[in-house]
Amino acid sequence: MGSVTLPVALGLEFRKTRRRHLCLIGMSLLAFQLVWLCANMSSYAKKSPDFTAILAMLPALNAIVLPLLCTVVVSTMVDVENRADMWKELLTMQDARSVVVAKWLCAALVIGVLVTVQTVVVVVVGVSFGLTENIPCPALLAQYWVSTFVVCLMLATIIQAICLATANPFVPLVAGVGLCFLGLFVAYLPQVFSWLIPSAYFFVLAVAGLDFDAASQVARFHVLPLNVPGLVVAVLVTVAVGVLSLRAFSRKEL
């Protein structure tokens, strides 16, 4: 078996995604999310110019869209070999671990770009709607980026494990839709349940929260510190699922 270094393997994965328009598909999904955010912002901005409200809204929007976005990215990458039934041939030229790690890194880079674009666009759109109070500082934006990226990476790792376990692309897609669904619904239950659902970690690692005073009917938004235990759990789950799927795929009879 030839030895393909990781940078070469990563380059190969990017070449395989050429003309699959992954970034375009990802941007389109983000565009849908931003249209929805703009619709909410236009009514909210008339009442208060507090930018923190956007940061408080984003976990719900992310829970609906980002799990499916990660699923689309990962599923497309793994489907290259599944569709043409190329695994056996590929693994005569490249180590199984190298293939899996390269696909994961490729997905991570694409998702990283998309999360960066989302972060920047949200700030630009928020300011353009007149939400000029409490504009997030670079540190807060970095916290948001890290929180969102880590959760997306966790979801991508879980979906990749499913994609590698089954050749049927319908299964990981349904898992992605299910994660979107559960992540959003569980947010309406006590927070302890959010720790059990991967896609609900957008709420666990939220950078802003809402205090609603029922007596005065006033909502106040506030910034939250980084939820380090939540971040650690997300990273550990990512590593555990990644390692287990890597081992399982390496030993899989194709």
Partner 1 sequence: MSQKREGAVSLAACVCAEFIKMRRAPIWIAFLVLPAVSTVIGCANYLANIDVLTPGWESLWTQQTLFVCYFFLPALLGAGASYLWRLEHQGSNWNELMAAPIPAWCVFTAKLAAGAFLSAVAFAAMTALFVVSGLVLGVPGSFPVAEFVEEVALGWVGSLAIVAIQLVVSLLVRNFAAPVGIALGGGILGLLAATVGLGSVFPYALMQTGMNSNALVVLDAVTIARILVMSVAWVVAAGTFVSVWLRRVDIHA
Enumerate binding residues for partner 1 (CB under 8 A): 20-21, 25, 28-29, 31-33, 35-36, 39, 64-65, 68-69, 71-72, 75-76, 79, 83, 168-171, 173-174, 176-178, 180-182, 184-186, 188-189
Number of H helices, E strands in the chain: 10, 2
Do the Cβ atoms of 61 and 37 come closer than 8 Å? yes
Cα-based torsion angle of the residue sequence 60, 120, 36, 143 in order, rounded to the nearest 10 degrees: 10
For the bound state, the minimum distance from the C-beta of residue 71 to partner 1, rounded and expressed in Å, comes to: 6
For the bound state, the minimum distance from the C-beta of residue 215 to partner 1, rounded and expressed in Å, comes to: 16
End-to-end CA distance of the chain: 16
Q: Which residue has the tokens 């990283």?
A: 112
Closest CB to partner 1 among 170 and 218? 170
Say which DSSP state 127 is in. Answer: H
Closest CB to partner 1 among 174 and 248? 174
Closest CB to partner 1 among 190 and 225? 190
Element (H, E) at 209: strand 208-213
Closest CB to partner 1 among 140 and 180? 180
Distances (CA, A) of 132 to 115, 138, 246: 22, 15, 46
For the bound state, the minimum distance from the C-beta of residue 56 to partner 1, rounded and expressed in Å, comes to: 19
Closest CB to partner 1 among 22 and 231? 22
For the bound state, the minimum distance from the C-beta of residue 151 to partner 1, rounded and expressed in Å, comes to: 18
For the bound state, the minimum distance from the C-beta of residue 64 to partner 1, rounded and expressed in Å, comes to: 6
Say which DSSP state 198 is in. Answer: G
